[in-house]
Amino acid sequence: MAFFDATESDWPQPVLNKIYYSTANTLSVYSEFIGSDGFNCNWNTTPNENTTKFKLCRHGQVTSANGTIQPMAGNSTPRQCSFSIVAAPGYQIEFYCSAINLKSYDSIFQVAGTTSILSSGDVVEANKPYFSTAENEVVIASNLGKGDWIDCKWTTLRRENKTNFKLCRDGEATSAIGTITPTSDFKIHSIVCIFIIEAPADQRIEISCTDVDITEYESYLEISGITEYTVPETMPVINEVYHSDSNNKVVLAWPPKCPPRIGSAASGRSRQRRTGSIYINVIFHGDRLILTFS
């Protein structure tokens, strides 16, 4: 027996006398019984709270322009819960945690839907901002027990109509021309990020690098979908113009000496595919690049 569309899950069956909450306004029960097995559950409905102070396992999906998220008080056993923040069209979510204290080896606190990619084994870093992708939804997955604590907040910012973009800050561009450069975070953190340039189906994208300075052992740059052939593990040629192919899916790679697994989140290689898009996936450890496109 299991609950679906709830803020937390317990398998193979719900815990007796434990209160479960729906993520939004629906909750489904799945059951399979044999013989004399049975259950007795009760529910009631409550109005949505007018608050910006949210609790893991109590609240599921919110659309507030800003707010905070913390664990519920009194957790004596680990609780696996999800929480998502959805921004209005034309806005971007900035998510930030001032405190992350996980005491148990199997405690989990992860974030998805951000321009910085976190693999399944990574934990969100405290005091570092994360920004939502064009999908405008940040999803939290957590498994927190007694003594674990997180304190996070978010705000929503209107997306600017601009041509100068920052890797890991901006996730997608639809402008006809533009420039993409790293943020200052590269000097502090090892970051895996995705940036997508999307053009109409009847257009081609031209992209060139006026400055690429990749010297760190584990840094690499990959742009996928260009018509020009590039030898693996070679740097893009400075000021050479690369063109998107008929599908506008481009690859320009600078893998580390010990390449990450193809398709893994750690490699930063997107498995997404869109017609009329150019994909730039980068891992940086304090390096520099400037890409221009038109």
Note the pLDDT tens digit of each residue in 151-171: 999 999 998 888 888 878 887
- DSSP, collapsed to helix, strand or coil, labels residue 59 as strand
One CATH from 1.10.287, 3.30.420, 1.20.120, 2.60.120 for 164-293: 2.60.120
Q: CATH 2.60.120.290 spans which residues of the chain?
A: 2-158
Q: Which amino acid is at 246?
A: S
Stretch (H or E) spanning 12? none
Q: Each residue's pLDDT tens digit in the chain (294 positions)?
A: 788 888 887 777 888 888 888 888 888 888 887 888 888 889 999 888 889 999 998 999 999 999 999 998 777 778 889 999 999 999 999 999 999 999 888 888 999 999 887 665 567 889 989 999 888 999 999 999 888 999 999 999 998 888 888 878 887 888 888 888 877 654 444 567 777 777 787 888 888 888 877 666 666 677 777 777 666 556 677 888 888 877 664 443 333 333 333 232 233 333 233 334 454 554 444 445 555 665
The predicted structure's pLDDT at residue 235: 66
Q: Which two tokens stand for residue 185?
A: 């975070």
- DSSP, collapsed to helix, strand or coil, labels residue 75 as coil
Q: Return d(Cα 78, Cα 106) in angstroms, integer.
A: 9
- Residue 39: how many CA atoms within 13 Å on its side-chain side? 16
**What's 2-158's CATH class?**
mainly beta
